[in-house]
Structure 1
Amino acid sequence: MENYKVGDIVKGCVTGIEKYGIFVNLDNYYTGLIHISEISEKFVSNINDYVTIGETIRVKIIDKNDDDYHLKLSIKNLDYRINKKIRTKIKETSKGFNTLKEYLPVWIEEKLHKIDNN
């Protein structure tokens, strides 16, 4: 069993996500909660934008209860990503590939014209 201290930065596995926070398992004994207020300095509208279940992340211990092996954790102001994958949202458009379909013949014609003139 680990001897965790307040202020330690340790690795944990995300085991659950709720509206109010993230559940993290640190080892066979200790589990913790990252309250939504400890995720970011910015407003957090969707916790799933930050982590996924099963992901291993770095967390900072901000409070400890040895009686029930429960920790209060934080990822605020912490480089918590271990694999450094960048999450970006792709905006869906109502046009889909229509724009590409419309302009592809025009682009081909422009390039062919440019080739013919050189």
Structure 2
Amino acid sequence: MNKGKSYNIGDIVEGKVTGIQPYGVFVQLADNQQGLIHISEVNHHYVSDINDYFSIGDEIQVQVIDHDEYTRKLSLSVRSLKPLHVPNHPKRLGRPPKRKTPDIGFQSIADEMPGWINEGLKNCKKYQG
């Protein structure tokens, strides 16, 4: 059996798209070697339709991410060749908003006390007089 070219994990190679399925893209590499780009390896974000990214006959660059020595099938990725846009620092949450405390407690009692005293004195005078 002719093994042809040997591919290692991490190799970046050129290939031609030979088939498109809802779950991935088949790519023909050198020496009649075939690989599959699973839909999860197309882009960093959600891919709803793989046809938006590839057409049959496209020449593309892929990275080998896995290989089966017995079946000679390769798992390929395009996503690993694209930069991931992540900020180099964590998102700053800032301070939580300060909670407004209700106006209750001793100060409100102290504010109301003179009115209560006057009202009490008025009622007291009514009963005395």
Cα shift readout 1:21-67 (whole Å, capped 9, x = no counterpart): 00001023311110000000111011111111011100000001121
1:28 paired with 2:24, answer no
Letter in 2 for 1:18: Q
Q: 1:57 aligns to what SS in structure 2?
A: strand
Q: Which protein has the bigger helix share?
A: 2
Q: 1:28 aligns to what SS in structure 2?
A: helix
- Tell me which structure has the larger Cα radius of gyration: 2
Alpha-carbon distance between aligned partners in 2 of 1:31 and 1:9, rounded to the nearest angstrom: 14
Q: Are the equivalent residues in 2 in contact too, given 1:29–1:69 (CA < 8 A)?
A: no
- Relative to the length of structure 1, the TM-score reads 0.63
- Relative to the length of structure 2, the TM-score reads 0.58
Pick from 16, 20, 23 the counterpart of residue 17 of structure 1: 20
Give the length in aligned residue pairs: 79
Q: Are the equivalent residues in 2 in contact too, given 1:26–1:32 (CA < 8 A)?
A: yes
Letter in 1 for 2:20: I
Percent of residue pairs bearing the same amino acid type: 48
Q: Which protein has the bigger strand share?
A: 1
Runs of 4+ in structure 1 deviating by more than 3 angstroms, as ranges, are none
How far does residue 70 in structure 1 lie from its aligned partner after superposition? 0.5
Gaps of 5+ in 2: 83-129
